[in-house]
């Protein structure tokens, strides 16, 4: 059993790896010889899902609300919490560990008001009016929970299924399993918040021990979102074309016929050139209608940045990019959803930036017929504490919080699971990050056990402990 | 009033809220079948096969060849013919020192008609100070060396680079491997006060470290630290997946959960320690300076309260500037020591959760390698890690020597005799040549655990000197597609560091200075902005420093250099016993559009103009000789010269740095 596989060393290895060791031979024989050849030349060529029946989604967009948005101010109304405002938590609700607040903290009600929306009548707070308009497409999971109460470790678990760095992110796993349909674009894109980095840093998005081909492409703010996509100053495209042609001819001059590894290298240069010439068009939003730009809030200062990135996410999945993560929040805690000091100030500001773009993305995907094949997920690494921190803030809270999924075959217009009456513990149908991961894989037609990789003697997968598909919503 | 005993119990209860038991876990037993696994058996003394036929006699230069030939013939295969000297010299240079030979070095080997030419090259390279830089990197991969904590703050570790230099030095000195291991496991115990030994003991602290603000979870952090130390013993030194037994008995190997925690018990008293290398006066001075600095910074931060807009931004800018000018930490060693006052009681932890402790355990090596019922030490001896080190480096230990010999073999051939270098357990599969592995391990131990003689034995074999092309390639691939039996030399792509170092060398820019703190080269500002604390990235002011060998560039967990990342350098978080070798478009973009590649193409062009003069033919000739160690063919020369009629030289040199032949070793 290979410990690591190397792409393109030979076709036998490729066929073995391409299906992650799952029904290798059956799939291999199904593949036409020429398809296999093409795949050897481009290891990110699309691959068939493990379970075609459940493969409803082709792409994933993760709207990552970094820092931990409060469930109590968004999707999980708790009238009792308002009643108990200023009191100690009744012992019956049990214990919780927090990062900052002490045991003496008192409960804090919310100043937000909740209203039922859509045909489904799901409660959404006045913080998120645009998302509320799409509520019939959302499956709100109110019973999410994770294991860690500090940012870095919780972010690793949300992204990679482990509380320590060094493991592949969901995006890397997904493109390892499915390849990409966007030849001239990166397969897995992260659109970080230009305001700064997050606690878990780059390793949370990374390919871990998977080969570098599965690494994320971090789009940067500004004129040059993709590293090395621009020609160096003073070099014209036509000149560089000649250089590439020379390179190809020099390589071929001494190449043995049938040398697949070197063929793959030459092919990588062709693809790189294609990316270089075709990818920049994707960043040009001027081809979008004024109506679309306004839908996303582009041109309005508050929503412009997140709006642009959400629109870019749509343009990417439209062209077959497999996994896009759009991060809301970055830099010092209060520029994330990390509302330690003042939940009102923080969440009003963060929601003002992201709510309209999130809503616009759902609406835009839907009217273009893309929502059926695009799984959209919204959430953070945890929620926030029912207790007040320093009077007006809320601390981290990993024992019960909300996320939502939409599109990609998810049954919208429903709420799943529940926290207790003050939003402390997930008490009804609790779903761990691993269950969310398993559900995402399921919608893509991937199986958590089949999507595995031998590393250091262990067959590793995205979920550390076996996850369960959230059956209510698929 | 509480008695002191009751107080003690209360304290214990605070740390262990659930049912920690004072009872010791049973010693456990291991079945004969479990003990029979090949890697747990004593090394055998295999007989070297003898060949009487002419072909066999001619090929077998060392016992290695004999073991290999025996298996090849069993499969009806033959080894490939010898590689040419031109191929060989490039192969062995990258292999031993990680940089290409100069044209003069190629010529002198190719034209050396005296007997022993190959031996002389091998010996010269093994004696080169750059040997340690190449083979040290492999060790650093395995021990997940980095100069920062990782996680949220990714704090830079003061003096961590000294461990990297220690490793390089140790390889260069050909330090016996058993001593190398002992120093790293227990240097502080063995020779307290010795800088070298204390640096070595920094090995215990190489794993990522989670620190966070707010309510400190002392017990949970301690558990994470102990986990890192324990897992490293398994993956790095013993080549078993000990870490798999943290939560439950190992699923495939006879390693019980109790075995895991019994190894962990050796580290119960181990704590981090910074050993200052500054005098007391310097330390007092520094304390004053940094105190004043912190005070100033605090004031500045306070002055920001209530400010908005431009005024706030101005203060933020000043804070940033100031942080970048924080007083340099004083020189120190990043090490560990035992603290008898802080011995963590080690219990079995249900699912590895420190809040769910079970029975207690004492110190004991892996049970499956001991006599049935071998006792554990329950009292903490003065030098616990020395005891562990002695067991690991005992000549009788069936794993240690095999694992290291296999790592060296893997370095030379791209694949181990045992395919999974960190897992000699059941899932690691059978070694392709068990007798050879034992023969090598025996030799290794007999020759005083020295690594250089082992390299030499391998390099002098016919197997190493084979061509990477075999006339029976098609048939051989059918029988042995992975080349496990070594019917040819396996071509390999250069590793990330080799590619960068080779580009610098060929362009005439490589700065061969050795040692010192990790260098931060310039990277795109956008990448720095993705750091939680962008002020951590302080670019070395001296440009020459940016051209140091890659091993001296900073190993920062949260900002890996894009060049390294794209060519499969390890992620610095977990042990990496073998590099990947993937092929994809971002590599092409890095080598075509990246800053390093273009700067080096420019420098390479300047070098050609200077050394070959204006003649295009001569420029092309020199470029090939520098980059791939041979003259261009007529066809290649014509292609290049006609290209140069319409294009600048730097575009040609860029193409050369992108040639398959440049990026691979044949």
Per-residue pLDDT reduced to its tens digit, B359-401: 999 999 999 999 999 999 998 888 999 999 999 999 999 999 9
Whether pLDDT at B9 is above 80? no
Tokens standing for A447? Answer: 């199986």
Whether pLDDT at A10 is above 60? no
Q: Residue A6 has what pLDDT?
A: 29
Interface test with B, best of A162, A457, A459, A460 (most B CBs within 10 A): A457
Whether pLDDT at A131 is above 80? yes
What one-character DSSP code corresponds to residue A45?
A: S
Q: Is B477 on the interface with A (CB under 8 A)?
A: yes
The model's confidence at residue B1, banded by pLDDT at 50, 70 and 90, is very low
Task: Report the 3 state secondary structure along B71-131.
Answer: HHHHCCCCCCCECCHHHHHHHHHHHHHCCCCCHHHHHHHHCCCCCCHHHHHHHHHHCCCCH
Which residue matches tokens 């080549």? B239
Question: Minimal Cα–Cα distance from A415 to chain B, Å?
Answer: 32
Q: Residue A224 has what pLDDT?
A: 67
Q: Do B587 and A250 touch (CB under 8 A)?
A: no
Residue B244 vs residues A261, B235, B428: alpha-carbon distances, Å: 35, 10, 14
Q: Residue A413 has what pLDDT?
A: 97
Question: Which chain A residues in 261-290 lie under 8 Å from chain B, judged by CB atoms?
Answer: 261-262, 264-266, 268-269, 271-273, 275-276
Is B156 in a helix, a strand, or coil? strand
Q: Is A4 on the interface with B (CB under 8 A)?
A: yes
- The alpha-carbon radius of gyration of chain B (Å, integer) is 28
The model's confidence at residue A389, banded by pLDDT at 50, 70 and 90, is very high
Question: Minimal Cα–Cα distance from A51 to chain B, Å?
Answer: 27
Q: Please provide the size of chain A in residues.
A: 474
Q: Which contiguous run of DSSP H or E holds residue A427?
A: strand A426-428
Which residue matches tokens 């024992």? A399
In angstroms, the CA A263 to CA B143 distance is: 35
Which residue matches tokens 């870019």? A312
Q: Which chain A residues are closer than 8 Å to B578 by Cβ?
A: 3-4
Tokens standing for B382? Answer: 């003065």
Q: Do B215 and A99 touch (CB under 8 A)?
A: yes
Q: Which chain B residues are closer than 8 Å to A209 by Cβ?
A: 571, 574, 576
Cβ atoms of B209 and B150 closer than 8 Å: yes
Q: Please provide the size of chain B in residues.
A: 666
Question: Which chain B residues in 154-183 lie under 8 Å from chain A, judged by CB atoms?
Answer: 154
**Residue A316 CB partners (closer than 8 Å, separation 6+):** A182, A185, A189, A282, A324
The model's confidence at residue A77, banded by pLDDT at 50, 70 and 90, is very high
Question: Minimal Cα–Cα distance from B174 to chain A, Å?
Answer: 28
pLDDT digits (tens, 9 = 90+) for A267-285: 889 888 988 888 888 888 9
**Stretch A110-125: mean pLDDT:** 97
Whether pLDDT at A429 is above 80? yes
Phi, psi (deg, nearest 5) at residue B665: -115, 130
Q: State which residue of chain A sits closest to B652, comparing Cα positions.
A: A243
The model's confidence at residue A39, banded by pLDDT at 50, 70 and 90, is low
The model's confidence at residue A41, banded by pLDDT at 50, 70 and 90, is low
Q: Do B428 and A251 touch (CB under 8 A)?
A: no
Q: Residue A26 has what pLDDT?
A: 35
Q: Do A197 and B586 touch (CB under 8 A)?
A: no
> Has domain A53-228+283-446 been given CATH number 3.40.720.10?
yes
In angstroms, the CA B246 to CA B256 distance is: 9
Phi, psi (deg, nearest 5) at residue A325: -115, 120
Dihedral of CA B393/B398/B400/B404: which sign?
positive
pLDDT digits (tens, 9 = 90+) for B164-183: 999 999 999 999 999 999 99
The model's confidence at residue A454, banded by pLDDT at 50, 70 and 90, is confident
Residue A464 vs residues A163, B161, B293: alpha-carbon distances, Å: 10, 33, 45
Cβ atoms of A381 and A151 closer than 8 Å: yes
Dihedral of CA A235/A237/A240/A246: which sign?
negative
**Stretch B236-258: mean pLDDT:** 93
Q: Do A201 and B659 touch (CB under 8 A)?
A: no
Cβ atoms of A219 and A226 closer than 8 Å: yes
Q: Is B661 on the interface with A (CB under 8 A)?
A: yes
**Stretch B252-266: mean pLDDT:** 96
Question: Which chain A residues in 164-183 lie under 8 Å from chain B, judged by CB atoms?
Answer: 164-166
Instruction: Give the best-scoring range by mean pLDDT among B117-131, B210-224, B379-393.
Output: B117-131
Q: Do A3 and B581 touch (CB under 8 A)?
A: no
Q: Which of B152, B574, B593 sits opposite A151 (nearest CB)?
A: B152
Q: How far apart are the first and last CA of chain A?
A: 35
In angstroms, the CA B324 to CA B535 distance is: 5
What region, left, alpha or beta, does residue A391 occupy, with left being phi > 0 and alpha being psi -120 to 50 degrees? left
Whether pLDDT at A195 is above 90? no
Q: Which contiguous run of DSSP H or E holds residue B35?
A: helix B32-35
Whether pLDDT at B152 is above 70? yes
Q: Which of B216, B203, B63 is nearest to B143 (CA)?
A: B203
Q: Residue B321 has what pLDDT?
A: 82
Whether pLDDT at A30 is above 60? no
Q: Do B532 and A199 touch (CB under 8 A)?
A: yes
Whether pLDDT at B54 is above 90? yes
**Stretch B548-568: mean pLDDT:** 94
Pick A254 or A103 by higher pLDDT.
A254
Q: State which residue of chain B sits closest to A184, comparing Cα positions.
A: B585
Q: Residue A7 has what pLDDT?
A: 31
Q: Which contiguous run of DSSP H or E holds residue B335?
A: strand B332-338
In angstroms, the CA B264 to CA B346 distance is: 7
The model's confidence at residue B651, banded by pLDDT at 50, 70 and 90, is very high
Q: Which of A208, A224, A272 sits opposite B571 (nearest CB)?
A: A208
Q: Do A215 and B566 touch (CB under 8 A)?
A: yes
Question: Which chain A residues in 415-454 lie under 8 Å from chain B, judged by CB atoms?
Answer: none
**Residue A121 CB partners (closer than 8 Å, separation 6+):** none
Cβ atoms of B102 and B629 closer than 8 Å: no
Q: Please state, rounded to an integer, the average pLDDT across all residues of chain B.
A: 93
Q: Which of A13, A199, A227 sits opposite B152 (nearest CB)?
A: A199
Q: Which chain B residues are closer than 8 Å to A39 by Cβ?
A: none
pLDDT digits (tens, 9 = 90+) for B411-420: 999 999 999 9
Question: Which chain B residues in 74-133 lie under 8 Å from chain A, judged by CB atoms?
Answer: none
Per-domain residue ranges for chain A? Answer: 53-228+283-446
Q: Which chain B residues are closer than 8 Å to A242 by Cβ?
A: 643, 646-647, 651
Whether pLDDT at A36 is above 80? no
Q: Do A250 and B581 touch (CB under 8 A)?
A: no
**Stretch B145-159: mean pLDDT:** 93
Question: Minimal Cα–Cα distance from A152 to chain B, Å?
Answer: 5
Whether pLDDT at B154 is above 80? yes
What one-character DSSP code corresponds to residue B519?
A: B
Dihedral of CA A369/A370/A374/A376: which sign?
negative
**Stretch A241-265: mean pLDDT:** 90
The model's confidence at residue A251, banded by pLDDT at 50, 70 and 90, is very high
Question: Minimal Cα–Cα distance from B539 to chain A, Å?
Answer: 19
Q: Residue A223 has what pLDDT?
A: 60
Q: Which of B214, B419, B482 sits opposite A100 (nearest CB)?
A: B214
Residue B238 vs residues A362, B231, B254, B405, B432: alpha-carbon distances, Å: 53, 10, 14, 12, 19
Q: Residue B297 has what pLDDT?
A: 87
Residue B368 vs residues A104, B30, B360, B384: alpha-carbon distances, Å: 51, 6, 19, 20
Question: Minimal Cα–Cα distance from A231 to chain B, Å?
Answer: 6
Q: Which of B555, B251, B179, B162 is nearest to B404 (CA)?
A: B179
The model's confidence at residue A12, banded by pLDDT at 50, 70 and 90, is very low
């Amino acid at each position: 059993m290979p410990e690591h596989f190397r792409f393109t060393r030979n076709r036998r290895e490729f066929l073995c790896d391409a299906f992650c060791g799952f029904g290798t031979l059956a799939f291999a024989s199904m593949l036409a010889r020429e398809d296999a050849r093409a795949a050897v030349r481009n290891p990110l060529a699309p691959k068939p899902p493990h379970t075609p029946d459940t493969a409803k989604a082709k792409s994933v967009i993760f709207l990552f609300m970094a820092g931990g948005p409060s469930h109590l101010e968004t999707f999980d109304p708790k009238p009792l919490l308002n009643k108990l405002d200023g009191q100690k938590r009744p012992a019956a609700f049990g214990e919780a560990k927090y990062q900052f607040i002490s045991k003496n903290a008192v409960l804090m009600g919310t100043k937000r008001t909740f209203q039922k929306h859509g045909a489904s009548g799901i409660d959404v707070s006045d913080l998120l009016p645009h998302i509320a308009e799409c509520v019939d497409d959302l499956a709100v999971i109110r019973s999410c929970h994770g294991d860690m109460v500090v940012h870095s470790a919780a972010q690793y678990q949300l992204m990679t299924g482990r509380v320590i760095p060094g493991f592949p992110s969901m995006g890397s796993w997904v493109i390892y399993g499915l390849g990409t349909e966007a030849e001239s674009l990166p397969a897995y894109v992260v659109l970080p918040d230009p305001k700064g980095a997050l606690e878990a840093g780059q390793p949370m998005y990374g390919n871990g021990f998977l080969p570098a081909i599965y690494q994320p492409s971090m789009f940067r703010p500004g004129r040059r979102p993709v590293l090395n996509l621009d020609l160096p100053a003073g070099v014209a495209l036509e000149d560089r074309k000649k250089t590439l042609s020379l390179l190809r001819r020099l390589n071929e001059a001494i190449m043995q016929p049938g040398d697949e590894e070197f063929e793959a290298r030459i092919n990588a240069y062709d693809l790189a050139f294609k990316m270089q010439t075709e990818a920049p068009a994707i960043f040009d939003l001027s081809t979008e209608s004024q109506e679309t730009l306004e839908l996303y809030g582009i041109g309005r200062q508050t929503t412009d940045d997140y709006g642009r990135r959400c629109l870019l996410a749509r343009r990417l999945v439209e062209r077959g990019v497999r996994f896009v993560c759009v991060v809301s929040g970055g830099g010092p805690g209060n520029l994330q959803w990390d509302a330690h000091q003042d939940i009102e100030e923080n969440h009003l500001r963060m929601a003002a930036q992201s709510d309209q773009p999130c809503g616009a993305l759902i609406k835009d995907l839907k009217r273009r017929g893309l929502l059926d094949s695009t799984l959209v997920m919204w959430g953070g690494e945890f929620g926030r504490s029912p207790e007040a921190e320093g009077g007006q803030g809320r601390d981290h809270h990993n024992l019960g919080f909300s996320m939502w999924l939409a599109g990609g075959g998810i049954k919208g217009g429903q709420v799943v699971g529940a926290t207790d009456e003050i939003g402390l513990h997930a008490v009804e149908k609790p779903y761990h990050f691993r269950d969310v991961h398993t559900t995402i894989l399921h919608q893509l037609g991937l199986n958590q056990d089949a999507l595995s990789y031998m590393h250091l003697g262990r067959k590793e997968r995205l979920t550390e402990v076996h996850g369960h598909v959230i059956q209510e919503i698929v | 009033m509480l008695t002191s005993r009751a107080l003690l119990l209360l304290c214990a209860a605070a740390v262990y809220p659930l049912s920690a038991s004072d009872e010791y876990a049973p010693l456990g037993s291991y079945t004969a079948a479990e003990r029979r696994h090949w890697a747990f058996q004593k090394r055998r003394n295999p007989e070297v096969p003898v060949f009487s036929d002419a072909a066999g006699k001619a090929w077998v230069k060392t016992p290695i060849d004999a073991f290999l030939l025996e298996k090849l013939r069993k499969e009806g295969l033959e080894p490939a013919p010898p590689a040419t000297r031109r191929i060989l010299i490039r192969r062995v240079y990258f292999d031993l020192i990680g940089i290409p030979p100069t044209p003069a070095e190629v010529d002198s080997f190719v034209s050396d008609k005296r007997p022993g030419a190959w031996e002389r090259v091998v010996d010269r390279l093994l004696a080169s100070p750059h040997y340690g830089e190449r083979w040290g990197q492999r060790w650093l991969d395995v021990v997940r060396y980095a100069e920062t904590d990782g996680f949220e703050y990714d704090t830079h570790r003061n003096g961590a680079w000294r461990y990297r230099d220690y490793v390089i030095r140790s390889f260069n000195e050909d330090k016996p491997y058993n001593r190398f291991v002992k120093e790293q496991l227990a240097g502080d115990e063995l020779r307290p006060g010795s800088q070298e030994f204390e640096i070595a003991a920094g090995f215990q602290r190489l794993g990522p470290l989670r620190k966070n603000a707010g309510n400190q979870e002392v017990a949970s952090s301690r558990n994470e630290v102990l986990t890192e130390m324990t897992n490293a013993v398994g993956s790095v030194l013993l080549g078993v997946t000990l870490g798999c037994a943290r939560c439950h008995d190992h699923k495939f190997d006879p390693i019980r959960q109790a075995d895991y925690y019994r190894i962990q018990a050796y580290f119960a008293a181990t704590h981090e320690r910074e050993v200052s290398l500054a005098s007391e006066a310097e330390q007092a001075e520094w304390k004053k300076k940094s105190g004043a600095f912190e005070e100033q910074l605090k004031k500045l931060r306070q002055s920001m309260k209530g400010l908005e807009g431009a005024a706030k931004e101005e203060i933020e800018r000043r804070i940033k500037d100031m942080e970048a000018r924080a007083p340099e930490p004083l020189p120190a060693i990043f090490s560990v020591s035992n603290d008898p006052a802080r011995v963590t009681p080690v219990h079995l932890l249900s699912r590895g959760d420190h809040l769910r402790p079970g029975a207690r355990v004492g110190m004991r090596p892996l049970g499956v390698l001991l006599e049935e019922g071998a006792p554990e030490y329950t009292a903490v001896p003065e030098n616990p890690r020395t005891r562990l080190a002695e067991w690991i480096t005992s000549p009788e230990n069936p794993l240690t020597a095999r694992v290291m010999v296999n790592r060296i073999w893997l370095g030379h051939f791209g694949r181990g005799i045992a395919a999974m270098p960190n897992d000699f357990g059941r899932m690691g599969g059978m070694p392709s040549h068990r007798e050879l592995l034992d023969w090598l391990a025996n030799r290794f131990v007999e020759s005083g655990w020295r690594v250089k003689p082992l390299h030499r034995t391998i390099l002098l074999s016919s197997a190493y000197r084979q061509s990477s092309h075999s006339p029976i390639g098609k048939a051989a691939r059918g029988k042995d597609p992975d080349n496990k039996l070594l019917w040819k030399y396996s071509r390999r792509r250069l590793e990330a560091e080799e590619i960068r170092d080779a580009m610098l060398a060929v362009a005439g820019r490589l700065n061969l200075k050795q040692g010192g703190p990790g260098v931060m080269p310039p990277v795109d500002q956008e990448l720095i902005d993705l750091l939680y604390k962008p002020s951590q990235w302080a670019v070395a002011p001296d440009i020459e420093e940016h051209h140091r060998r890659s091993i001296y560039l900073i190993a920062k967990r949260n900002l890996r250099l894009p060049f390294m990342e794209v060519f499969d350098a390890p992620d610095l978080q977990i042990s990496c016993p073998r590099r990947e070798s993937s092929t994809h478009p971002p590599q092409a973009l890095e080598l075509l559009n990246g800053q390093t590649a273009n700067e080096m193409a420019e420098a390479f062009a300047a070098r050609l103009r200077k050394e070959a003069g204006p003649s295009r033919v001569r420029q092309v000739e020199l470029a090939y000789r520098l980059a791939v160690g041979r003259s261009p063919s007529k066809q290649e020369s014509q292609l290049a010269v006609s290209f140069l009629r319409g294009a600048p030289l730097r575009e040609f040199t860029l193409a050369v740095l992108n040639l398959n032949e440049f990026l691979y070793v044949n």
